[in-house]
């Protein structure tokens, strides 16, 4: 281990200031996984960072993102396969959502304590007889509506009613409304 610590590679890694720099330098340096593991433990102790900081930086590194997510074509193929698997759209289901259906969606589309949605896209797609992209569309509209309502001054008296009316509008229309609400 002493021989390892005296190498130039170990010196470079141990002198990194941030997890992002550590990840980048570890990609450039030729050490075995075991040697990098030893140096990582020493670096964490020295800097006070924790392994979660390293993982966070690694997940945002372009090299590791490409390894994890694959090429754009691979991602597209993976998404299309998932969408086909969870396509619950049928010819009986109306493409236009009623206000009751939108209200039910708003009730079910809640986030839990850790910031994740209570139901996955696939679960909601099945419940609402639609597709994953359809659910993602409605989630984007909900986020836009929240931003528009929050930007309104004075605040509307009947927020829920105003919110529901906004949810019946198209996504492009909502984006224009949001831009206009910030320019007033």
More confident residue, 154 or 119: 119
Q: Would you list the domain boundaries of the chain?
A: 2-69, 89-183
Model's pTM, two decimal places? Answer: 0.61
Pick left, alpha or beta for residue 94 (phi over 0 → left; psi -120 to 50 → alpha; otherwise beta): beta
Arithmetic mean of pLDDT over the chain: 88
Given pLDDT bands bounded at 50, 70 and 90, which one contains residue 141? Answer: very high
Paired with 117 in beta bridges are 111
**pLDDT of 39-89, one tens digit each?**
999 999 999 999 999 999 998 898 888 887 888 888 889 888 988 888 888
Q: Which residues contact 108 (CB under 8 A, 6 or more apart)?
A: 118, 119, 124, 127
Reply yes or no on whether the pLDDT at 91 is more than 70.
no
**pLDDT of 111-123, one tens digit each?**
988 888 999 999 9
Count CB neighbours of 43 within 10 A: 20
């Amino acid at each position: 281990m002493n021989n390892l610590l005296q190498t130039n590679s170990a010196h470079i890694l141990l002198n990194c200031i941030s997890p992002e720099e550590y990840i980048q330098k570890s990609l450039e340096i030729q050490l075995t996984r075991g040697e990098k593991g030893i140096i990582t433990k020493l670096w964490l102790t020295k800097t006070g960072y924790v392994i979660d900081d390293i993982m966070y930086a690694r997940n945002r590194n372009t090299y590791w993102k490409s390894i994890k997510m694959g090429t754009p074509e691979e991602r597209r193929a993976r998404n299309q396969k998932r969408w086909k698997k969870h396509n619950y759209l049928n010819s009986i289901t109306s493409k236009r959502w009623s206000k009751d259906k939108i209200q039910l969606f708003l009730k079910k589309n809640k986030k839990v304590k850790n910031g994740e949605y209570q139901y996955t896209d696939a679960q909601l797609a099945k419940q609402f007889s639609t597709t994953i992209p359809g659910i993602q569309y409605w989630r984007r509209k909900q986020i836009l509506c929240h931003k528009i309502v929050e930007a309104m001054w004075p605040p509307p008296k009947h927020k829920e009613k105003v919110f529901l009316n906004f949810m019946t509008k198209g996504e492009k229309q909502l984006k224009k409304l949001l831009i206009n609400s910030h320019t007033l």
